[in-house]
C-alpha cells in the first residue's frame, strides 16, 4: 500500500506492506534511529513518538494508520542550529538518563504530557510518575527522570512568561 507520512516536517512517500510497523518505517525508510525497538509489545515505551501531536508507541501502530499524518521523533525536536528543546535540555541538566536506550521515548512522552497539561498548574511528582507510567527505564530509579520533567515544565513556563 502506498503511504504518505510527514516525519519531522519531511514528507515520505513509500510503498509499504500493510503489516509494517510505524517504528520500522521511521527507522528503515526515514532513516531515523532515536525511536528504539525494545519489546514490540507496548511495554517499554522506547519507541514513543508523537503522531499528530499525541504520544504513541510506534511498535504497535501500523504504518498505514499513520498515512497522511504527522510524526515527530526526538530528532525532530531540535532543528539543526536551533536551541535545544526544553525537555531535552532538562534531561541533560538533571542527568535524567544513563544508557540512553529509553531516553528518546521518555522525552517524547514528556513532551506530550506537558503539551497536554491543560490544568494551568504545575504537575505534581505523582502526576509526572503516572504520566510516564508506560515508559520503562532499566538503569535508573526514575528520580532524575522526574526531576527532568519538573525542570522542563519550569523552563517551559518561563518561556511562556518571556
Q: In sequence order, what are the beta bridge partners of 2?
A: 15
Question: How does pLDDT run across 29-49, given as a tens digit for each residue?
Answer: 999 999 999 887 889 999 999
CA dihedral 149, 55, 61, 23 (to 10 degrees): -50
β-pairing, 10-15 vs 48-51, is unpaired
Instruction: Give the C-alpha separation, 148 to 65, whole Å.
Output: 32
Tens of pLDDT, residue by residue over 124-135, are 999 999 999 999
Give the chain's mean pLDDT: 93
Across the range 84-97, mean pLDDT stands at 94
Q: Is 4 helix (H, G, I), strand (E, B) or coil?
A: strand
Quick one: which of 52, 103, 86, 73 has its CA closest to 8?
A: 73
User: Cell triple for residue 18?
Assistant: 500493510
Among 20-24, 68-72, 98-102, 111-115, which stretch is predicted with the lowest mean pLDDT? 98-102
Q: Which domains can be identified in the chain, with CATH numbers?
A: 2-77 (3.10.20.30), 86-161 (1.10.150.120)
Give the model's confidence band at 80: pLDDT under 50 very low, under 70 low, under 90 confident, else very high. Answer: low
Whether pTM > 0.85 for this model: the answer is yes
Amino acid at each position: 500500500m502506498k503511504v504518505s507520512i510527514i516525519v519531522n516536517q519531511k514528507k515520505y512517500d513509500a510503498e509499504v506492506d500493510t503489516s509494517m510497523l510505524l517504528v520500522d518505517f521511521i527507522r528503515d525508510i526515514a532513516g531515523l534511529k532515536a525511536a528504539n525497538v525494545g519489546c514490540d509489545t507496548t511495554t517499554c515505551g522506547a519507541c514513543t513518538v508523537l503522531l499528530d501531536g499525541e504520544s504513541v508507541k510506534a511498535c504497535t501502530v501500523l504504518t498505514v494508520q499513520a498515512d497522511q499524518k504527522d510524526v515527530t521523533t526526538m530528532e525532530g525536536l531540535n532543528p539543526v542550529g536551533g536551541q535545544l528543546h526544553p525537555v531535552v535540555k532538562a534531561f541533560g541538566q538533571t542527568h535524567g538518563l544513563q544508557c540512553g536506550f529509553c531516553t528518546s521515548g521518555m522525552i517524547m512522552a514528556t513532551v506530550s504530557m506537558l503539551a497536554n497539561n491543560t490544568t494551568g498548574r504545575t504537575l505534581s511528582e505523582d502526576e509526572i510518575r503516572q504520566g510516564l507510567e508506560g515508559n520503562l527505564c532499566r538503569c535508573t530509579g526514575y528520580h532524575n527522570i522526574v526531576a527532568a520533567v519538573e525542570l522542563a515544565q519550569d523552563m517551559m513556563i518561563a518561556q511562556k512568561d518571556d
